[in-house]
Amino acid sequence: MELIDTHCHLTFDDLAKDIDGVIERSRQAGVTAWLTVGTDPQHNRKAIELTNKFENMYAAVGIHPHDTKDIDAETITELKKLAQSEKVVAIGETGLDFHYDFSPHQDQKRAFAQHLQIAAQLNLPVIVHCRESFDVTMEILEQFGTDVKKVVFHCFGGSAEQAKIVLDKGFHISFTGVVTFKNAEKTRAVAKIVPLDRLILETDCPYMSPEPMRKQKINEPALMIHTARRLAELKEMDFTDFAKAVTATTNAFFNLPSYPLNPTP
Ligand SMILES: [Zn+2]
Ligand SMILES: [Zn+2]
């Protein structure tokens, strides 16, 4: 059984300072590949550096919607350059966050479109962060039509109705530990309708530790196993079969070049 954590922030201090331990515990838990996600220029560079140290580790580069007020032309030029690095497999995270509003909507929208432009030019999948911004997010995605085909809504927090709209567009949906939370009936209802060939797993660590480890302040990839088990239950599936299916979906979506090393038929 091998799983891929498709959204972790391994360059954030809480994880970076014990990266060897984090990776070792993850491997032991069966989470044996990672996609570390950049959020600003500094973390994008660090993410790529880190992928060069670990087998089965990949990176995504992007500017988090929170940080888009600081973007200039140079940021975007560098982003496009970094996106062409060998182990970069996606653009992100990008999108719109109208919950915290740390950056003006205008800046968030402009940056999102710039990310989608790069993804279209380089033919890379996009990791979308969407919080209280569903309609505008879909509008901007629609402007790109089929130029941006591979899109995953990470840490999906929308309704089942919104999930159906996302699925109708051919996009993927990714779940964090939220699906294990007591009060997350809405997210579990969404999980039930997402087919296995569109379903992706992530921790979003260091945030969002799943139950029963929610008290562990710093989440890490090893804990994704709890999220995976809960989802397998919801799908009424054998855990190994579930893991195999989701890993196949993930490999195909991110076009991972060397993982798993020994694919099972
Ligand atoms: Zn996010
Ligand atoms: Zn994130």
Question: Which pTM was predicted?
Answer: 0.96
In this structure, which residues have their CB less than 5 angstroms from ion ligand 1? Answer: 129
pLDDT at 29 over 80: yes
Distance 5 CA to ligand 2 centre (A): 12
pLDDT at 22 over 70: yes
Could you tell me the pLDDT band of residue 1, with boundaries at 50, 70 and 90? confident
3-state DSSP assignment of residue 67: helix
Express as a percent the part of the chain with pLDDT over 90: 96
pLDDT in tens, 148-207: 999 999 999 999 999 999 999 999 999 999 999 999 999 999 999 999 999 999 999 999
Distance 265 CA to ligand 2 centre (A): 32
Distance 231 CA to ligand 2 centre (A): 20
Distance 7 CA to ligand 2 centre (A): 6
Rounded CA separation 66/95 (Å): 9
Angle at 172 (CA atoms; ends 64, 221), nearest 5 degrees: 60
Tell me phi and psi for residue 11, to 5 degrees: -90, -10
Cα–Cα distances in angstroms (integers) from residue 49 to residues 86, 131, 235, in the given order = 11, 29, 37
pLDDT at 8 over 50: yes
- For tokens 């915290």, what's the residue? 100
pLDDT at 265: 45
Distance 206 CA to ligand 2 centre (A): 9
For strand 172-175 and strand 126-131, is the pairing parallel, antiparallel, or unpaired? unpaired
3-state DSSP assignment of residue 255: coil
Cβ–Cβ < 8 Å for 232, 242? yes
Order the strands of the 88-97 sheet from edge to edge: 3-8, 31-37, 57-61, 88-97, 126-131, 151-153, 172-175, 199-201
Cα–Cα distances in angstroms (integers) from residue 13 to residues 1, 17, 18, in the given order = 29, 6, 9
Distance 177 CA to ligand 2 centre (A): 13
Could you tell me the pLDDT band of residue 259, with boundaries at 50, 70 and 90? low
